[in-house]
Amino acid sequence: MASEELTIERLYASPSLNGPSPTGIKYSPDGKRVTFLKAREDDASRYDLWQFDVETGQPSMLVDSTLLEPEEVELSEEEKALRERKRIAGRKGIVDYDWGTSDTILVPLGGDLHLVTLGEGGPETRQLTETEAYEYDARVSPRGNYVSFVRDGAVFVIDLSSGKERQVTPDAEPEKAISYGVAEFVAQEEMSRYTGYWWSPDERFIAYTRVDESTVDVIERFDIKADKTTVIDQRYPRAGQPNARVTLLVRDLEADKVSILYGVGPDTYLARVNWAGESLWFQTVNRNQTEITYHRTDGKPWRVWSPLSETQDKWVNLSKDVIGLDNGILLTTEETGYRHIAISPFGNQSDELIFLTSGNWAVDEVKSIDREAGLAYFTGFRDTPLEKHLYAVPLDGGEITRITEPGKSWSVTVAPDGRSFVGTSSSPAQPPQTGLYLVDAEIPDDKIPDEGNPLRTPDMLEPVAKRIAWIEENALDADHPYAPFLDMHATPEFGTLEAEDGQALYYSILKPADFDPSKTYPAIVEVYGGPHVQTVDRDWESISDQYLARQGYIVFRLDNRGMANRGKAFEDVIYRQTGGPEVRDQLVGVEWLKSQPFVDGDRVAIQGWSYGGYMTLMTILQAPEDTFAAAIAGAPVTDWSLYDTFYTERYMDTPQDNPDGYDKSSVFYHLDRLETGMPPLLLVHGMADDNVTFDNSTRLMAEMQEKGIPFELMTYPGQRHGIRGQALQTHLMKTRMNFLNRKLKR
């Protein structure tokens, strides 16, 4: 059967061409249910809450979002910002939920809170709040007795047995830029800390933040929509400027007493807060971001001491891994140059760290501790940087066992008892599949090849994952949304090139399914290039890549130095000089690409978004003349002094301490030195962007106009850092393709 034409309209229509893919996966406290959010077939942007019964193997919808929210509710500015920071701004319906007891689930929806109780007759819903204000950052307390949330910059608690509501922090003081229990901008955007309050396991204490942003610069951001323009005074700490002052406090709910624990800012950050049993651990980072200090307090009288630290010459990367053990604290550190798991005996710096993992590969995250079996489960890249897997390592040291199947990349949620996990995997030929797996299953002896058989591997003799059931098989069968286009599906090839310092650079190259080696093709370099991101791996790629391949384009990606999961030596080369080593690496990739006999070297384009937009501009401005035939820069940073403190100063130091680095890492420095013409450029930006603010692009527009440099422009009223919604995504793709086809097609 001939493949159907894949249109731009179909790329963004419902149901998703990727097929159904659960998100927000969680186990119930008793492990009997797996819950997840699932997009509707008729609206891929709206999510409902579903469950999978572990015993029966049956999935069912728990909460239909349209019943609790029949009409869309205007989000508060705080909720809009939070969703933007979490990269879920395009979602509707249920975007978050939290388990309470084994039969209660908290569902925030439409600015109010709903408690779902699971009974024999089916789920019953009780509305907990019904106010004009918008309640957000809601969760159930550890033992399921309370629901907590933020309203108007203060933390509240509802006693579920009585329904009584109680305010546990002072009122916010917006006129003084003071709020409680919230995470400031850089904590959300750059530290992945989206909350400002934390329950103790026994529910007696709530630690919370007091955030004073009065010293933070107010940036007048123009929220330009189709029919009106609103001036928003946004507290945005640009590089070199003052940060918020954050104080960590703890409230004793039983004694009704508040104690001050620690204060930071403007030259220190509160990065992480974790309860480990009765101890409260919190991490602070100095302004230069060369040292993480681990602080600890064990309760009344809340004496704080600082037993641990990690120091790096360039910068420290944050970790979420702080877990209390009987014999100390388990954490992850990059002390050895790669992130690895270690135990600090009794949480004391005077004792040497005991490393459970080691080698020239990176741990991703500790997922669970099975105390009974004495195992730590973690995700990482031990086998290859191209695949993330689940592994197990004994807590007393020993061999590491890979749990998940190779040839694909995985994300996992491990059960509370550590004996099973929900795994979502994908490969370049298979869209995401989600299954329930047992950890300690062994391959039957009759399935293991005999010794000497090339199919026999050591992994076959180790514990492996055994799938119990599919939660979402997402099989590429005749009923799959992508089935009409499967005949022309192309899979990428992977390889490595060498950077100037000898380090390996991984690339992927996607050719059209009907590729003819005797022909030459135009090529598109898809670039991101920024820290803490990896784009070259063995997973299911964007369907937009398939569209480009069907249009006769070669699609090329390369992960340059500075990017993620390759260790500190790979990252650190960009220190104080962004836009230099990364560009040189991309040009190594472009040179190799152009040397391929099937690539037309005169028809190569480059495009990227955010840091990728910055990289697009920096690459075309530093590349030899005629390297590129076209370029598309989306939401680009153009001058790092316009970006926020925590991200920018981590890599660049402050503008005051590194003026030459800021100068040379600016797009304008290279624009001023431009001796030859730029390739045709399309500049794209959302006009309400609160991350890479719109003035990054307006300044560039003005400079290029002054210099007589022609360019094309597409702006999106009301859109923030991402362009959301089916209609606008369709429009953006059509705009890109119109530009690329005009510049590259013959």
Report pTM: 0.91
In this predicted structure, what is the pLDDT of residue 114? Answer: 93
Instruction: Clarify whether residues 420 and 507 are in a common domain.
Output: no
The one-letter code for the residue type at 66 is: T
Examine the domain organization and report whether 689 and 739 are in the same domain. Answer: yes
Same domain, 500 and 459: no
How is residue 454 written in tokens?
């090339």
Question: Domain boundary at 143, 167, 191, which?
Answer: 167
Give residue 316's identity as a one-letter amino acid code.
Answer: V
What's the first-to-final CA gap in the chain, in angstroms?
30
User: Which pLDDT belongs to residue 438?
Assistant: 87
Taking the C-alpha atoms of residue 205 and residue 259, their distance in angstroms, rounded to an integer, is: 11
**Catalytic, out of 370, 545, 559, 689:** 689
- Pseudo-torsion of CA 26, 407, 555, 608, nearest 10°? 40
Residue 112: both structure tokens together: 């109010």
pLDDT in tens, 297-354: 998 789 999 999 999 999 999 998 988 888 789 999 999 999 999 999 876 655 689 9
Question: Measured between alpha carbons, how far is residue 482 from residues 3, 203, 541 in Å?
Answer: 10, 48, 13
467 and 502 assigned to the same domain:
no
Q: Is residue 452 part of a domain?
A: yes
Q: Could you write out the DSSP letters of every residue in 56-113?
A: TTEEEEEE-HHHH-SS--PPPHHHHHHHHHHT-TT-EE----EE-STTEEEEEETTEE
For residue 194, the SS3 value is coil
User: Of 167, 198, 229, which residue constitutes the final position of a domain?
Assistant: 167
Catalytic residue check, 532: no
Please indicate, yes or no, whether residues 28 and 143 belong to a single structural domain of this protein. yes
Residue 498 one-letter amino acid: E
Rounded to the nearest 10 degrees, the angle between the axes of helix 581-595 and helix 611-622 is: 70
CATH of residue 49's domain is 2.120.10.30
Residues of the chain short of pLDDT 70, as ranges, are 1-2, 224-226, 347-351, 440-464
Among candidate residues 715, 639, 626, 628, the one with its CA nearest the CA of residue 671: 639
Residue 51 lies in a domain: yes
421 part of a folded domain: yes
Q: Are residues 423 and 515 in the same domain?
A: no
Q: Which two tokens stand for residue 333?
A: 């550190």
Q: Phi-psi category of 278—alpha, beta or left, where left has phi over 0 and alpha has psi -120 to 50? A: alpha
Phi-psi region of 517 (alpha: psi -120 to 50; beta: other; left: phi over 0): alpha
Which residues are registered as beta bridge partners of 329?
A: 324, 344
Domain count, the chain: 3
Q: Which of 319, 610, 666, 697 is catalytic?
A: 610
Residues 641 and 557 placed together within one structural domain of the fold: yes
Question: Do 518 and 605 belong together in one domain?
Answer: yes
Residue 282 domain flag: no
| In-domain check, residue 314 | no
Catalytic: 610? yes
Phi, psi of 359 (to 5 degrees): 120, 175
Q: Is 9 left (phi over 0), alpha (psi -120 to 50) or beta?
A: alpha
> Hey, what are 617's tokens?
């501009």
Q: Does a structural domain hold residue 84?
A: yes
Count of residues making up the chain: 746
Regarding whether 502 and 374 lie in a shared domain, the answer is no
* pLDDT recorded at residue 543: 95
Active site residue 731: no
The CATH number given to whatever domain includes residue 360 is 2.140.10.30
- Supply the pLDDT for residue 605: 98
Per the domain annotation, does 299 fall within a domain? Answer: no
Beta bridge partners of 100: none
Q: Any idea of the CA torsion for 656, 659, 665, 671, to the nearest 10 degrees?
A: 120
Residue 460 and residue 528 in one domain: no
Q: 396 and 374 in contact (C-beta within 8 Å)? A: yes
The DSSP-derived string for 306-337 is: EEEEEE-SS-PPP---EEEETTEEEEEE-TTS
pLDDT digits (tens, 9 = 90+) for 195-251: 999 999 999 999 999 999 999 999 887 776 667 777 778 899 999 999 999 999 999
608 membership: H or E segment, kind and range: strand 599-609
Q: Same domain, yes or no, for 511 and 386?
A: no
Beta bridge partners of 52: 34, 59
| Residue partners of 41: CB distance under 8 A and separation at least 6 | 14, 15, 20
Query: Measuring CA to CA, which residue among 329, 320, 319, 304 is closest to residue 249?
Result: 304
In which domain, by residue range, is 641 found? 489-744
Q: Which residues of 697-713 are buried (b: 16+ CB within 10 A; e: fewer)?
A: beebbeebeeeeeeebe
Compute the CA torsion angle 179, 180, 186, 188 (nearest 10 deg). Answer: -130
Is residue 287 one of the residues assigned to a domain? no
Q: What CATH number corresponds to the domain at position 552? A: 3.40.50.1820
| Domain identity same for 451 and 474 | yes
Phi, psi of 488 (to 5 degrees): -105, 20
Half-sphere exposure of 400 (CA within 13 A, CB side): 21
d(CA 379, CA 394): 14
> Which of 120, 136, 167 corresponds to the end of one domain?
167
What pLDDT is recorded for position 458? 47
Residues 663 and 669 sit within 8 Å (Cβ to Cβ): yes
